[in-house]
Amino acid sequence: MSTNFSDDEETIIQEPRLWRDERWTAQVIKNEDDEGWAVAMTLKGESEPALVGPWTMGRDKKNPKPLDAAAFHTLVKTASEVLRRHEQQLHAKLHKHVSVDTAEGRVKVMLDIVPDDDNPYATLTAQNDMGEQIAQARVQASYRLSETSAAAWIEGGFGKP
């Protein structure tokens, strides 16, 4: 499927099986799994669709229902929500934190993973109640942050975990 377009191409298309605005392309395609139709939503500059879902058959029960403005706007909203949820999940996976109560007060320990293909790593950072950084250490990307591991790092004087 060739739905992506170059960055300088901003052609608005409104055809029965292809709609494009400044950011999104909706393309009705033959569903390879059965006799029905599907619609693929691709964000400008991306090679893969953000959303692929079933599409309604037309009145003749052979061809797809044509795209229209209302359907396109609904598809844009749905595809945008899929991307937003994906970004939230990725952020939650790469950025974690716990809080530990110590004699000096509450310490927030954060783990920020850098998913580099060649050399992934993570940064462990401690902040006091005022949000001031009190320690930082580089750790392996596989480091497991928990209240127990954070407390051990703090009790060890913020040395190499």
Q: Looking at 30-44, 109-123, 128-142, 145-159, which range is the least confident one?
A: 30-44
3-class SS string, 128-147: CCCCCEEEEEEEECCCCCCH
Encoded tokens for 5: 């377009």
Q: How many angstroms separate the CA atoms of 68 and 39, rounded?
A: 13
Q: How many angstroms separate the CA atoms of 128 and 20, rounded?
A: 50
Question: In percent, how much of the chain has pLDDT > 90?
Answer: 80
* Average pLDDT over every residue of 5-21: 79
DSSP 65: P
The residue ranking higher by pLDDT, 139 or 61, is 139
Is pLDDT at 43 greater than 80 in this prediction?
Answer: yes
Is pLDDT at 121 greater than 60 in this prediction?
Answer: yes
Is pLDDT at 1 greater than 50 in this prediction?
Answer: no
pLDDT value of position 31: 84
pLDDT value of position 70: 96
pLDDT value of position 33: 75
Q: How many angstroms separate the CA atoms of 64 and 15, rounded?
A: 12
Domain spans of the chain, in order of start: 13-67, 95-155
pLDDT value of position 10: 65
Is pLDDT at 104 greater than 70 in this prediction?
Answer: yes
* Average pLDDT over every residue of 105-132: 95
Mean pLDDT over all residues of the chain?
Answer: 91
Taking the model in full, what pTM does it have?
A: 0.72
